[in-house]
Structure 1
Amino acid sequence: MLHAEFRDPLLVAVYDAECPWTHEDDFFLRVVGEVPGRRVLDLGCGTGRPALGLAAAGHVVTGVDPARASLRAARAKPGSERVTWVEGTSADLPDATFDVAVMTSHVAQFFVTDEEFGRALTDLRRALVAGGRLVFDTRDPEARRWEAWNPVDSHRRVELADGTAVTAWTEVTAVIDGAVSFTHHYSFSDRRQLQSTATLRFRTEEEVRAALRAAGFQVEHVYGGWNREPVGDGDGELLVIARR
């Protein structure tokens, strides 16, 4: 199933167990928190981890995601009543409503074609107030992170809240013009076997900057690491802060 870790309730639970709050979330919290009490959009909010953290910090947060199973998990978490949850895409965003928009957990890479990415950025610009900020992360293709997505290096064990053990691993199936396709494999202790497929786009810094300019954004910063290191000297990331 395409993106099953966001759409299959069982794999949503695995995703949640694999993805606790980390220093990556701290980066977004710090950037958004540079001005308190912001109206924040979390596009591609998934199971709600960053959205809930931003709401707990005092921001007015709206989380938007097309995956119903992920939103169901988000709504079940403590503090979820502080967030407005919307099942939808960037096309459903209201005009001139948010001070800050974020896309965390490499959501920007899910827009594989240039047309898809351009439409999403245009929608985000429309949803921001004048001077509003857009903050997102995307992996730097120069770091070639997908080379570690193989059955040996990606092999991991995940334990769910109910005690179920899951063995998971990832394998890349194609790399074509910056688009990396792969399959996540999940083996459960009760012998169930599930898979999730996806394709992510790895854009260069110049490609990211060009797409933002075309959508009407001004780029303020692009960092290479979660401690705001220069591109190429950090964590293999492109951490982007742009302004409408």
Structure 2
Amino acid sequence: MFSDADAAALYDLLNPWDPDQRPEDSFYFPLVMGAESVLDVGCGTGSMLHLARERGHVGRLVGLDPDHAALERARRRADIEWTDGTAAEAERGANFELATMMGHAFQNLITDQDVRASLAGIHGALRPGGRFVFETRHPQARAWEGWTSSNPDDVAEVIDESGRALRYWHGVDSIAGDVVSISGTLAELDGTVLRGFTEDLRFLDVATLNGFLAEAAFEVEAQYGDWDMAPIGSSSREIITIARRG
């Protein structure tokens, strides 16, 4: 058996949160530490908020996620608020200074209605002038073409908390318009499959994304094509957005 709790622990192994080593984390962390109240949408196991508290954040920190197993792992730290729910269900009128949505979680919003409802929920949770910071993969980079077991950069080997040696890789199941359906496979090193995962990801282009933001009464304050804050260009792999609530 490879349980949901095991899967949550595996996520932390595959995605260690470290602003001292990972450029995406070092982009977000000063924003979080500089805001007196933060809503982390799609917080997962809560690694970012855990570290913020450990490093001295004294304001309100709230993690929001619909994944029960991930939240159970996040709740190992009790001095942060953890809420089971989606972006659309964010606390209206909470007056957060900052909302974040990391780990390309924005791409899990598949339909136009998903995007609109989520942006409305985040808008309602922010104070006037509050900022929403998130990233989505730029479709021009065609990231999905590297998600295959034949790409050594996409195959990860880890030792889990019980001491098992595991291998994890991706595959693309289908592409329909701007939605890519992928599968993840977790196996022992001898090839014994322990669990499969499926996920749909939407790849919005800049114009479409900004149209949704404007419709939701967000003003784009800045957009970058990489974590070094380079402008979006023909080789950009990311669309990193800082949007301000109007």
Q: Do the two structures share a fold, i.e. TM-score over 0.5?
A: yes
Pick which of 86-95 and 137-146 moved more. 86-95
Q: Distance in 1 between matches of 2:79 and 2:239?
A: 30
State the alpha-carbon separation in 2 of the partners of residues 170 and 40 from structure 1: 32
Q: Distance in 2 between matches of 1:28 and 1:235?
A: 19
Matches within 5 A, 1:157-168: 157-168=157-168
**Structure 2 counterparts to residues 135-154 of structure 1, below 5 A:** 135-153=133-151, 154=154
Aligned to 1:242: 243
Report whether the alignment pairs 1:81 with 2:78: yes
- Tell me if 1:19 matches 2:15: yes
What are the equivalent positions in structure 2 for 1:90-239 lying under 5 Å apart? 90-97=87-94, 98-153=96-151, 154-188=154-188, 191-232=192-233, 236-239=237-240
Offset, 1:168: 1.1
Aligned to 1:112, the other structure's residue is in SS state: coil
Instruction: Give the deviation of 1:234 after TM superposition.
Output: 7.0
Q: State the partner residue of 2:54.
A: 56
The superposition leaves residues 58-102 of structure 1 with CA deviations (integer Å, 9 ceiling, x where unpaired) of 1421001111100011112xxx22310011122332223211100
Q: Could you report, residue by residue, the CA deviation over 1:130-167 in whole angstroms, capped at 9, with x for unpaired residues?
A: 11100001100111111000111122211113211111
What does 1:27-46 correspond to in 2, within 5 Å? Answer: 27-33=27-33, 36-46=34-44
1:82 partner SS: coil
Aligned residues between the structures = 234
Aligned-pair identity in percent equals 34
Question: What is the rounded CA distance, in whole Å, between the counterparts of 2:51 and 2:25 in structure 1?
Answer: 8
User: Where do 4+ consecutive residues of structure 1 move more than 6 Å?
Assistant: none
Q: Is the Cα contact below 8 Å between 1:164 and 1:189 reproduced in 2?
A: no
Report the more deviating stretch, 180-189 or 46-55. 46-55
2:80 maps to a residue whose letter is V
Deviations, residues 37-67 of structure 1 (Å, cap 9, x unaligned): 5210001100111222333341421001111
Q: Determine if contact 1:183/1:197 at 8 Å carries over to the other structure.
A: yes
Cα distance in 1 between the residues matched to 2:14 and 2:155: 12
Displacement, 1:235?
Answer: 5.8
8 Å CA contact retained: 1:179, 1:201? yes
Alignment partners' CA distance in 1, 2:50 and 2:134: 17
Question: CA RMSD for the aligned pairs?
Answer: 1.9
Change beyond 3 A, Cα 1:142–1:162: same
Distance 1:188 1:235 in 2: 35
> How far has the Cα of 1:192 moved from its partner?
4.8
TM-score calculated relative to the size of structure 2: 0.89
Could you tell me how far apart the structure 1 residues matched to 2:188 and 2:82 are?
Answer: 30
Asked if the contact 2:88/2:120 (under 8 Å) is kept, the reply is: no
User: CA, structure 1 residues 234+225, in 2 after alignment: closer, same or farther (shift >3 Å)?
Assistant: farther
Structure 2: which 5+ runs fail to align? none
Counterpart for residue 72 of structure 1: 72
Deviates more, 1:89-98 or 1:106-115: 89-98
Report the Cα distance in structure 2 between the residues aligned to 1:132 and 1:71, rounded to whole angstroms: 25
Give the aligned residue type for 2:237: G
